[in-house]
Structure 1
Amino acid sequence: MFLVSKNTFFLVLLLFLPLSLAAHFLEWGETLVFILAGLAIVPLAAFMGTATEEIAVVVGPNLGGLMNATFGNATELILAYVALRSGLVDVVKATLTGSIIGNLLLVMGFAMFLGGLRYKEQEFQPVAARLNASAMNLAVIAILLPTALNFFTVNEIQEVVLQKLSVAVALVLIVVYGLSLFFSMKTHTYLYDVGVAELEETDAIVAHDSTAQPNLWLWVGVLLTVTLGVAIESELLVESLEVATENLGLTPLFTGVILLPIIGNAAEHATAVTVAMKNKMDLSVSVVMGSSLQIAFFVAPVLVIAGWWMGQPMDLNFSPFELVAVVVSVLIVNSISSDGRSNWLEGILLLATYILLGLAFFFQPA
């Protein structure tokens, strides 16, 4: 029943796709275009995830797992690439940190809170949680290095030097990301067996008759069409961003850290919270941590390399407060998840931390 209502909800949201195009071409105003394009991206991201999962069923677990890992944050990657191409480097950086913060605090907070209201205490794999925590610590170190080098060096470091260092760090992160996929899908799959089993069970409920194979070319066509739609809506969103945020009284930093990650991750957020409410916290934590790690180890490095290739000054030199927010998020999540158990109060702690950081970003001057 919930599945039907969720799919219906996303289908209704598709109405914002033609409305956003009409608002753009009929010049209804930048603010309205921004709002409509943001709402249109939400269902497109959901159907992109569905298409990727259906294709994964046909191509097998290894290639399917790689596809899910690659396309898991495709919406954010497309949106950030469009913003980067438009020269909105600070917004792109804010979106990266906001995606990590949003996944760790907002999504996991809601998952633990709502799941904890139904079940007194929920359990998930502590070994996998500790591995994910170690990986997130590495991500924090990686994004901290260029900022620390720039901050603690007496003489100002040239932008080109920071960009070269960021590209080198990005390459290391991509290699580690590839090795982590090999670890989880090949050499140590048993550590993730519970989450995989739950995912297969969920897919069986969601999907079709188990004897029926999805139509590969149909879903490939859906994936290509939806990806094109995301690209078009991202263009509209980015084009109207500066004027719209000014009209709405928001800073580009707040928009990048809070609004854009929620838009790009809405469908994935819904999945993580839904499975937590079904007492499948292993799968929920896997979705949240997997998305956060993918942002840090794949999306951010790809954008750094793309910026270097396009001649945009994209690097890993974040503002000190953005770094503080990421460090705080990683620390509290590692502390809460280390025992492999969760309850509703821990969810409240994560949500409260997200609200406090959101307030700080809202009141931070432009």
Structure 2
Amino acid sequence: MSTKNIIFLVLLLFIPVSVAAHFLEWGELIVFITAGLAILPLAAWMGAATEEIAVVVGPTLGGLLNATFGNATELIIALVALKAGLVDVVKASITGSIIGNLLLVMGLSMLLGGLRFKEQTFQPIVARVNAAAMNLAVIAILLPTAMNYTSQGIGEETLQNLSLAVAVILIFVYALTLLFSMKTHAYLYEVGVAENEAEELAAHKPNVLLWTGVLLVCTLFVAVESELLVDSLEVATSQLGLTALFTGVILVPIIGNAAEHATAITVAMKDKMDLSLSVAVGSSMQIALFVAPVLVIAGWIFHQPMDLDFNPFELVAVAVAVLIANSISSDGKSNWLEGTLLLAAYAVLGFAFYFHPVIEGMG
């Protein structure tokens, strides 16, 4: 058994610990920390189960499955937070997921991959398509925010209606990106992926029934742990001296995305930069074009004021992340210095969010 699996098995012990901490009232901080640690292995196994099933059902259906469950952990945490009325934390987690994938994950992948291989290459046309999609995402959250700041007395209902219309367009665009990557231009995406799948198929034939069961059980436990995490979030973060903005932007995305982050970095160190970028950038695109719009629609269903009117500071952070990630990945080559630049940008934004004062209605 690999070291990674042993660590995940040990972390599973935090599931009963977090439940006990909640019912025996050991304190919100202990509940928050143990629930966060319990989510890490569950998210990893959800990802592993999705990949195993994808190997058997083929590239098209497998790609669709990956696209749907790729950020399932984060979506579940966000839906639980949204239902609890923590709209600002949900928006902050969307921001954090985008900048985390584009700067932290891509940065670590390029740095650690670049230390082992002098220069790594990937498809520049794919990088350009992804860049265009991320630019659209920035525009989508820029317009409702700009509309709110340039109009006097604009109603919450008007903002939500605009956000719903934008959300529908973004989901439609997301469906088109799936069609592009899986059908009409699939050959562009098969460089690293096909090779990886061929290796996996040669190694073993996964048990679909077993992995489907794993996926369902993990999803159920993630929902339970998310409930505990969200319930204890406000009290725990104030005890740690953190604002809800910092928690939403930095902590929540790292908890929900840790397994995916590890995958991107591992394949980059095997000189499979195409695959690494498809995980990192693909995850950002999924958050921006699918998860955020789904949360807007869910907010409308739950009667929560969830819209695409983001805090201007968060908007600046997303725009900065998209700008630097696009400029670095546009040439189809990467090295350790470019990875360091992305990590430096993430660190600067992280400190900015840490020192940013509490906003009214947050925390």
SS in 1 for 2:169: helix
Superposed, 1:1-366 pairs within 5 Å as 4-153=2-151, 155-201=152-198, 203-204=200-201, 209-210=203-204, 212=205, 214-366=206-358
CA–CA separation in structure 2 for the residues paired with 1:290 and 1:185: 13
The CA deviation at 1:190 is: 1.0
Structure 1 residue aligned with 2:361? none
Which whole-Å deviations, capped at 9, do the CAs of 1:118-158 have from their partners, x for residues lacking one? 111111110100110011001111111100111112x1210
Which deviates more from structure 2 when the two are superposed, residues 104-113 or residues 61-70? Answer: 61-70
CA–CA separation in structure 1 for the residues paired with 2:355 and 2:195: 41
Contact 2:113–2:270 (Cα < 8 Å) also in 1: yes
Contact 2:113–2:269 (Cα < 8 Å) also in 1: yes
Which whole-Å deviations, capped at 9, do the CAs of 1:258-298 have from their partners, x for residues lacking one? 00000000000000000111111111011101000000010
CA–CA separation in structure 2 for the residues paired with 1:216 and 1:316: 38
Unaligned runs of at least 5 residues, structure 1: none
CA–CA separation in structure 2 for the residues paired with 1:357 and 1:93: 16
CA–CA separation in structure 2 for the residues paired with 1:196 and 1:313: 40
Runs of 4+ in 1 over 6 A off after TM superposition: none
Contact 2:134–2:285 (Cα < 8 Å) also in 1: yes
**RMSD across aligned positions (CA):** 1.2
Could you tell me the percent identity over the aligned residues?
73
Contact 2:171–2:289 (Cα < 8 Å) also in 1: yes
Contact 1:195–1:286 (Cα < 8 Å) also in 2: no
Contact 2:93–2:252 (Cα < 8 Å) also in 1: yes
CA–CA separation in structure 1 for the residues paired with 2:218 and 2:278: 25
Q: How many residues align?
A: 358
Contact 1:198–1:280 (Cα < 8 Å) also in 2: no
Contact 1:78–1:231 (Cα < 8 Å) also in 2: yes
Contact 1:83–1:89 (Cα < 8 Å) also in 2: yes
With normalisation by structure 1, the TM-score equals 0.96
Equivalent AA in structure 2 for residue 58 of structure 1: V
SS in 2 for 1:262: helix
Contact 1:198–1:283 (Cα < 8 Å) also in 2: no
The CA deviation at 1:217 is: 2.0
SS in 2 for 1:231: helix
The CA deviation at 1:339 is: 0.6
Equivalent AA in structure 2 for residue 36 of structure 1: T
The CA deviation at 1:202 is: 5.7
With normalisation by structure 2, the TM-score equals 0.96
CA–CA separation in structure 2 for the residues paired with 1:142 and 1:99: 16
Contact 1:42–1:264 (Cα < 8 Å) also in 2: yes
Contact 2:105–2:265 (Cα < 8 Å) also in 1: yes
Which whole-Å deviations, capped at 9, do the CAs of 1:231-269 have from their partners, x for residues lacking one? 000000000000000100000000000000000000000
Unaligned runs of at least 5 residues, structure 2: 359-363
Equivalent AA in structure 2 for residue 151 of structure 1: Y
CA–CA separation in structure 1 for the residues paired with 2:184 and 2:97: 29
CA–CA separation in structure 2 for the residues paired with 1:126 and 1:222: 36
The CA deviation at 1:56 is: 1.8
CA–CA separation in structure 2 for the residues paired with 1:184 and 1:190: 8
Contact 2:55–2:200 (Cα < 8 Å) also in 1: no
CA–CA separation in structure 2 for the residues paired with 1:260 and 1:221: 26
CA–CA separation in structure 2 for the residues paired with 1:134 and 1:203: 32
CA–CA separation in structure 2 for the residues paired with 1:338 and 1:348: 17
